[in-house]
Structure 1
Amino acid sequence: MIERIVIRGYRLFQDFEMVPTAGLNIVVGGNEAGKSTLLEAISLGLTGRVDGRWAEEQLNPYWFNQKLVANYFAELAAGNSLKAPEILIELFLSPANPDIHILRGVYNSRAEDAPGVRIHIRPSTDYSEEFASYLATPDRPDIIPVEYYEVEWQDFAGAILHRRPKSLGVSFIDSRTIRSTWGLDYHTREMLGDFVEAKERAAISVAHRSARHNISETALAEVNKRIIAEGTKLHDKDLALQMDQSAGASWEASVVPHVGEIPFALAGQGPQAAIKVALAMNRSADTTSYVLIEEPENHLSHTSLTQLIARIEALAGNRQVFITTHSSYVLNRLGLDKLRLLHAGTPTTFSDISADTVLYFKRLSGFDTLRIVLADKLVLAEGPSDEMLFERAFRDKHDDKTPIEAGIDVLSMAGVSLARALELSAALDRQVAGIRDNDGKQPSHWEGKVAAYLQPGKRQLFIGDPADGKTLEPQLIHANGDATLRALLPITDDTKTTLDWMTGHKTDAALKIVESKTSITFPDYLMKAIEFVE
């Protein structure tokens, strides 16, 4: 297993370290957080390749962290000498596997005696004069001249690697880039080939060669007669068409998998993604030790995604799996305890979430947990009425600007335990305002139940005074007066009081108030919650 990941100077990562779990790692984060780059770096360290090609062939100036590059050229312009930007990717491996002891040594950034592999991209000593000349050139662009760089792929013993070390097999599945017209990629063909035994492979090859020969002798026979008849006009020797018998025309390149009765390349993107992930997970641990999956939810319906996640769980075995996702369902279903949060290229660590809460969200897999995970500021409202009225109060105070425009996410907790959400928020150190009814009890009663997750100025509950009513509806009436609210609401039954109607039509009442042009006075605890998260 990969015990530690070190990435320096590669794309978004300036100085990155992460200690993954031995089994499943779910990597989440906002856009440009570095999720895809992390998987790419792991694959690069294990294989020396990017997109199937050697790193030295793909080397790009924009692989280098652009902040470090900008600082480098700024220092040069100021007359200061600075070490040229480099890229370092190191994967520290568990010493438990005797097959990888050959990779063990201290040739790593931590000078630690451990097995591992590393990619180091740095200026080549063979081009030191050319590099210096480039830097001295007037009006040259502030771009790293990668032509003068070299790529070193080594193990921690210092040995140069020319191929992926044994036992470090990796499957990289990116469902986002699957296109039906691309057909079957090499990696998928290789995974399907695992099902073919050596003797079967030889037998298929012989049969395929014989079939090609028969085509040359039969279907092409008449064509070749016509070509030979005109041969003297074309060349001094006979010309003819024959089926290719070279290795490039092997049966592997001709056999096409089918999904049902449809060629794999013409199947929908969802089935293609699901099959690729399942094939990667199904490979033996000897063939694939690591599985990297990019956003498995893409192109899949909820039912198909449910089936795929079940397969991932069932087939994971002893592999180390890294999954990036934007899906709360994937996160909940596979377990919040596997969460690895990235933000602007920096990993966020958090306290252990209780097993009960992990199980709770697994059972409540449809809840949008990622909104809690990714929000900078969060309001947890007890229900949809509280959510709508908080947003209206915020807009009234801020000239119709919504909370989300101010970077504040308001999330209804209808049917969800506020305590569980606060526990997750505390583990992630989120700033949270919790809004709830007092239900006839003092606020201190409810605060005591979640005291372990509250922190003054960081996570607080906002609860109305019991003297003004048990729930939101009487609190609104107390703040505005019965007549004012009754005039806003479509109450046609004169026998019902305003409070009775609002209590029986909570969401409808909140919606009417939100849509009204009439100025409303909101309960004090809602306004204090707004001040807290502003």
Structure 2
Amino acid sequence: MITKIHICGYRIYKNFTFCPNPKTNILVGDNDAGKSTLMEAVSLALNGRIGGRSVMEELNPHWFNAELVGQFVTARKAGEKPSFPEILIELYLRDDAELQVLCGAVNTDVPTNACPGVFLRIFPNEEYQDMLDEWLKEPSELLPVEYYTCEWRSFADRELVRRPRLLSVATIDSRTVKSTTGVDYHLRQILSDHLEVTEKAAISLDYRKIKASMTEGALAPVNARIAELDASLQAEPMALAMDQTSRTSWESAITPHVDRVPFAMAGLGQQAAIKISLAMKRHAAKVKIVMIEEPENHLSHTSLRVLLDRIEMLSSDEQQLFISTHSTYVLNRLGLDALHLLTRNQVSKITDLSPDTVRYFQRLPGYDTLRLVLARKVVLVEGPSDEIIFERVFFDLFQQKPMDAGIDVISMRGLALARCLELCHTIDKPAAVMRDNDGTEPDELREPVKGWLDGERRELFIGAVADGYTLEPQLINANGEKHLREVLGIADRANLNTWMAREKTEGALLIAESDKALTAPGYMRAAAEFILNA
């Protein structure tokens, strides 16, 4: 299992350290937060390859961190002599007996850390020093990667030429699961690992026999006719034969089928589900690390539920899972305690969330916890009408929408206030929470959740009982019944409070869209001022 990942100079990661959970890791973050890059870096260090090709075949200047490259070029043009930018990816592994062959202290940990691990380093090749010196006369941000080299070694300082058998990894990218060649590299690798050595040998032998029979069969009369052409320079006749080299092995010719349809022609959701299932069903001795990117892609809600059930069923204590997602359903189902929030060079981990709260959200996987996690600041309200009115109040106060100020207004939709506040507290999210008093004094309602409040980043706002039990009488009390009747277009014969309680959302929309002035209830105004400055 990977205990620590250290990445320097690779893509968006300038200097990044991440300590994953031993079993499940759910990676979330905005677009370009580094989720895919993190998985790519892990795969590079484990395989020494990317997309089935060697590092040096795929290396390009854009692999290097743009900020570090820019600093290097600026310093060189200023007459300084900084070292060329490099890439370093280190994977620290659990100190298992079977990994002792990889154990050593050749890593960047301070103080010295002797443990199993592997690293991949990309750096300038000293053999090309003359070319590098020539390039430095007019440096640019496109580094001369042609003059770079790569080393892939264990922490024991032994060169690796292939992935250690005990560090097998399966990578499934549901976003680009369809392959133009029918079966992509990762699926071939997974399928191959499901076959025994004897089975592979038997298939290979039969495949060679089939190709040989074609040479002796259908190609025989063709060769006889070509032999009469005297096309060769010497007396030896030219002939056609089936290619028996490794590049035409059976692995490149065979393709799986799903219900008699070639795999590449199956639905994208079906392809993703098959690849994930095959990867996770491999025996723990054959696959230690499974990385899945956005399993929700191409799947209906029902199919996603089935797939997540399968992931939970197939996962074992001997497998370490890394799953990136933009789906709240995936996050809630697989467990908030496995969440890692990526923001480019930083990662935040939920460590203090209680098991009861984790199970609570697992039972309610439809709640938009991911939206809450990714927001810069949040205002939690009880329902849609509160959300609509708060948006209007905030705009009236500050002449901008909450979202423009980096504030997301989210309805709790009946969820327990304590659970939502615990989540905000655990990830240190600035939050203003509003709720009705329902006839109970605010101090009494505050007591059960005061442990999650600090008055600076998280606070609870409740209207006074004297002003009304819910939002509607609070609005009437703040604005006067006559003014609200004009805003809503309600005749005097109708009971305003009853109408507003019955038509909560419709009334909120009419108030939000009205050109008439609105006086905000005191607790709502206080919440808006608090969250803007939190």
Q: Fold-level match, TM-score > 0.5? A: yes
Work out the CA distance in 1 between the residues paired with 2:184 and 2:286: 18
Work out the CA distance in 2 between the residues paired with 1:457 and 1:12: 32
Asked if 2 retains the 8 angstrom alpha-carbon contact of 1:433 and 1:533, the reply is yes
1:45 paired residue number:
45
Question: 1:156 and 2:155 equivalent?
Answer: yes
Paired positions, count: 528
Residues 299-349 of structure 1 show CA distances to partners (whole Å, capped at 9, x for unaligned) of: 111111111111111112111111111111111000000111111221124
Asked if 1 retains the 8 angstrom alpha-carbon contact of 2:73 and 2:140, the reply is no
What is the Cα deviation at residue 79 of structure 1?
2.9
1:167 counterpart SS class = helix
Work out the CA distance in 2 between the residues paired with 1:70 and 1:206: 55
Distance 1:171 1:213, change over 3 A: same
1:34 paired residue number:
34
Residues 263-283 of structure 1 show CA distances to partners (whole Å, capped at 9, x for unaligned) of: 101111111111111111111
Question: 1:413 and 2:412 equivalent?
Answer: yes
2:361 paired residue number:
361
1:431 paired residue number:
430
Counting only pairs closer than 5 Å after superposition, residues 80-479 of structure 1 correspond to structure 2 as 80-96=80-96, 98-110=97-109, 111-135=112-136, 137=137, 139-220=138-219, 231-232=229-230, 241-317=240-316, 318-399=318-399, 401-479=400-478
What is the Cα deviation at residue 240 of structure 1?
5.1
Residues 238-285 of structure 1 show CA distances to partners (whole Å, capped at 9, x for unaligned) of: 555444444433333332211112110111111111111111111122
Work out the CA distance in 1 between the residues paired with 2:412 and 2:294: 26
Asked if 2 retains the 8 angstrom alpha-carbon contact of 1:72 and 1:84, the reply is yes
Distance 1:197 1:80, change over 3 A: closer
Q: Which amino acid letter does the alignment assign opposite residue 459 of structure 2?
A: Q
Work out the CA distance in 1 between the residues paired with 2:169 and 2:48: 12
Q: Which amino acid letter does the alignment assign opposite residue 37 of structure 2?
A: T
Work out the CA distance in 2 between the residues paired with 1:415 and 1:170: 42
Two-structure CA RMSD over aligned residues (Å): 2.2
2:167 counterpart SS class = coil
1:526 paired residue number:
524
Asked if 2 retains the 8 angstrom alpha-carbon contact of 1:180 and 1:268, the reply is no
Residues 217-226 or 294-303, more deviating: 217-226
Residues 358-395 of structure 1 show CA distances to partners (whole Å, capped at 9, x for unaligned) of: 00000000111111111111110111110011112223
Structure 1 unaligned runs (5+)? none
2:507 paired residue number:
509
Asked if 2 retains the 8 angstrom alpha-carbon contact of 1:474 and 1:499, the reply is yes
Asked if 1 retains the 8 angstrom alpha-carbon contact of 2:336 and 2:350, the reply is no
What is the Cα deviation at residue 217 of structure 1?
4.8
Work out the CA distance in 1 between the residues paired with 2:73 and 2:449: 52
Residues 145-191 of structure 1 show CA distances to partners (whole Å, capped at 9, x for unaligned) of: 22332212111111111111220111111111222534101321232
What is the Cα deviation at residue 234 of structure 1?
8.7
Work out the CA distance in 1 between the residues paired with 2:32 and 2:246: 43
Distance 1:305 1:443, change over 3 A: same
What is the Cα deviation at residue 453 of structure 1?
0.8
What is the Cα deviation at residue 350 of structure 1?
4.1
Asked if 1 retains the 8 angstrom alpha-carbon contact of 2:395 and 2:401, the reply is yes
Asked if 1 retains the 8 angstrom alpha-carbon contact of 2:106 and 2:155, the reply is yes
What is the Cα deviation at residue 71 of structure 1?
1.7
What is the Cα deviation at residue 27 of structure 1?
0.9
Residues 120-129 or 39-48, more deviating: 120-129
2:78 paired residue number:
78
What is the Cα deviation at residue 355 of structure 1?
0.3
Work out the CA distance in 1 between the residues paired with 2:159 and 2:239: 48
Distance 1:93 1:198, change over 3 A: closer
Question: 1:484 and 2:487 equivalent?
Answer: no
Residues 60-69 or 194-203, more deviating: 194-203
Asked if 2 retains the 8 angstrom alpha-carbon contact of 1:180 and 1:269, the reply is no
Q: Which amino acid letter does the alignment assign opposite residue 131 of structure 1?
A: L
Residues 415-424 or 203-212, more deviating: 203-212
Work out the CA distance in 1 between the residues paired with 2:232 and 2:325: 60
Q: Which amino acid letter does the alignment assign opposite residue 122 of structure 1?
A: F
Asked if 1 retains the 8 angstrom alpha-carbon contact of 2:9 and 2:68, the reply is yes
Q: Which amino acid letter does the alignment assign opposite residue 498 of structure 1?
A: L
Distance 1:365 1:284, change over 3 A: same
Work out the CA distance in 2 between the residues paired with 1:82 and 1:175: 41
What is the Cα deviation at residue 532 of structure 1?
1.5
Distance 1:501 1:52, change over 3 A: same
Work out the CA distance in 2 between the residues paired with 1:140 and 1:204: 53
Asked if 2 retains the 8 angstrom alpha-carbon contact of 1:3 and 1:20, the reply is yes
What is the Cα deviation at residue 495 of structure 1?
5.6
2:89 counterpart SS class = strand
Structure 2 unaligned runs (5+)? none
Residues 476-533 of structure 1 show CA distances to partners (whole Å, capped at 9, x for unaligned) of: 11112212222333657x7641001111221222122223333222212212211112
Q: Which amino acid letter does the alignment assign opposite residue 503 of structure 2?
A: H
The two structures have a TM-score, normalised by structure 2, of: 0.93
Residues 439-483 of structure 1 show CA distances to partners (whole Å, capped at 9, x for unaligned) of: 122222222121111111200111112111110000111112212
Work out the CA distance in 1 between the residues paired with 2:494 and 2:530: 37
Work out the CA distance in 1 between the residues paired with 2:348 and 2:194: 41
Share of identical aligned residues, percent? 49
The two structures have a TM-score, normalised by structure 1, of: 0.93
